[in-house]
Amino acid sequence: MVETDKKPLAAPPHQQWLQALKSRDLLETIGWLLAIIMPLFAYHFLPPINPMHAQDEPKIFLCVISCASVMWAFSLLPELVPMFFIILTTAMLSLVDPAIILSGFSSSTFIILLGISALTVGIMQSGALKRFILYFMQTSSFQRLNTVFFCSGVIVSPLLPSIINRCQLLGALLSDISSSIKITPGSKPFLRMFTNGFFSITLFSSSFLTASLMNFIIFSVLPIQEQQTFQSGGWFLATIVLTVFLLISYLILFFCFLRSSDNVVIREADISENLKRMGPIKKSENFTTLCLIALFLGMLTVNYHHIPQSWLSFSILFLLLVLNHVNINDFQRNIDWSFILFLCSLVSLSQTFKSLKLDVWLFEGLVNHFPEMLVSRVTLFSSMIAITLILRFFLPIGAVVALLIPSAISIAYRVGISAWPLCFTILFIADIWFLPYQCTFYKVYKNPFGEAFSFERKFLLFNAIMNIFKILAILTSLPYWKYLSII
């Protein structure tokens, strides 16, 4: 019996196409298709925005924004790339003057962010803040240890502007402390410390100007006269009602939700051992601490000495590099350049939005189609809260801020209120998250414990309830902002 080799028949073309489609990520394929289709759809169906120009530059700019929004929504590229796509396309099509689309990189914001980021790298490498926290955590009482851990995070927040660096610092500290006092990530005492640590470094990131790098973006897009009002002291004064409301809400919820009778027996020597391993205080710790205090006090008292914050930041950056307290290689590797470039691009986007008169077009559209949104301040802020929350389920926080901040500024000026409260509301609500994929900070903070943290569902439920209080905190602040005559 003779066997013959038979070649398999080739699949029809349509089946080959389907197999190729299945072998790729279907969601990514849909995303790229929408990224191509959306600009064409927007250009065809959007009515003329500025017929005086032959190309109708505002309309083309909105088409570019729609393409970038799809890239953000489907996570097709890193967050910075769609922003660069907007800037590059706008410049190549000459939609605005190059000085406008690149204004964010020539503004004082870039210098401020660079100086603060370099100082953050120096502080993290020297271990100054870690030593500070460990010094106060030497106690044999678990309740006091938990309280000091929370207070340390709150104190560190305005001193260390990068939330990711704060999460890395307290996450590593929690890992060291929990292993020293022998509490496992699957225990209730650990859940209490884990919750206290995370909320201490994230809950008040909007309360202080220097508690988040994102806050400087709001600060930079404000007019000069408003920037003088919302310097470090003015910023905290405007957020004091919100801060007190959040603190009281968190303490009540923590007591009711995470109350535990478990008594953890610890020895003070167990905590002190971590401090001894750091060795004697180094020169770099003293210098970076001195720079931190000088920069913080300088920003806090800028209304008295009138030295621009950019000059303060640049002076600190120069000293750190000249005295080699931040190595040039560490300066290149450890600074989050993509984040800084994204924030500067956001300033450029806001200026472009204003230059193309899209603020006028947007306001007129809201008046015509959603007049009830502008009926009262409560309705306006409630609508902005709802829009921000919805977008956060699909877009990263940077993209939401990039899309909404220019719109908020235009709406604020048209209704006769300060732009700060509306921009602050967007940034504050954009920080709200319900699912882990929405929050990079949570992933960084949880990283040292991985799957060993078995109370994640309970923590996420606690976070969801706290989000309700965050929304109420904004609404509670409205009468206070009205009293300050900024809304």
Q: Is residue 145 part of a domain?
A: yes
Query: Quick check: 469 pLDDT over 60?
Result: yes
DSSP string, 114-126: HHHHHHHHHHHHH
What average pLDDT does this structure show over 288-300?
Answer: 88
- pLDDT range class, residue 458, cuts 50, 70, 90: very high
pLDDT of residue 132: 86
pLDDT of residue 2: 45
* pLDDT tens per residue, range 195-215: 999 999 999 999 998 899 889
Tally of structural domains, the chain = 1
Please enumerate, as own/partner, the contacts of 220-227 that have beta carbons within 8 Å and a separation of 24 or more: 220/104, 220/107, 220/108, 220/109, 220/347, 221/347, 221/350, 221/405, 221/409, 221/419, 221/423, 222/419, 222/420, 222/423, 223/419, 226/418, 226/419, 226/420
- pLDDT range class, residue 52, cuts 50, 70, 90: low
Q: Is residue 207 part of a domain?
A: yes
pLDDT of residue 24: 52
Domain that holds residue 370: 104-483
pLDDT of residue 35: 94
Q: Is residue 45 part of a domain?
A: no
Q: Is residue 14 part of a domain?
A: no
Comparing 239 with 233, the larger pLDDT belongs to 239
Query: Quick check: 133 pLDDT over 90?
Result: no
What is the average pLDDT score of the chain? 86
pLDDT of residue 3: 47
pLDDT of residue 480: 96
Query: Quick check: 242 pLDDT over 70?
Result: yes
Query: Quick check: 61 pLDDT over 50?
Result: yes
* pLDDT tens per residue, range 348-362: 988 898 888 887 888
Q: Is residue 291 part of a domain?
A: yes
pLDDT of residue 228: 81
Q: Is residue 17 part of a domain?
A: no
Please enumerate, as own/partner, the contacts of 312-315 that have beta carbons within 8 Å and a separation of 24 or more: 312/115, 313/111, 313/112, 313/113, 313/114, 313/115, 313/116, 314/111, 314/114, 314/115, 315/115
- pLDDT range class, residue 1, cuts 50, 70, 90: very low
What average pLDDT does this structure show over 9-23?
Answer: 54
* pLDDT tens per residue, range 365-394: 877 777 777 778 899 999 999 999 999 988
- pLDDT range class, residue 136, cuts 50, 70, 90: confident
Query: Quick check: 452 pLDDT over 80?
Result: no
Comparing 182 with 14, the larger pLDDT belongs to 182
Q: Is residue 254 part of a domain?
A: yes
Q: What percent of the chain has pLDDT over 70?
A: 93
DSSP string, 142-207: HHHHHHHHHHHHHHHHHH---HHHHHHHHHHHHHHHHHHTT--TTSHHHHHHHHHHHHHHHTTTTT
Check: CB of residue 159 under 8 Å from CB of residue 210.
Answer: yes
Q: Is residue 13 part of a domain?
A: no
Q: Which of 1-5, 13-17, 455-459 has the highest mean pLDDT?
A: 455-459
Q: Is 217 left (phi over 0), alpha (psi -120 to 50) or beta?
A: alpha
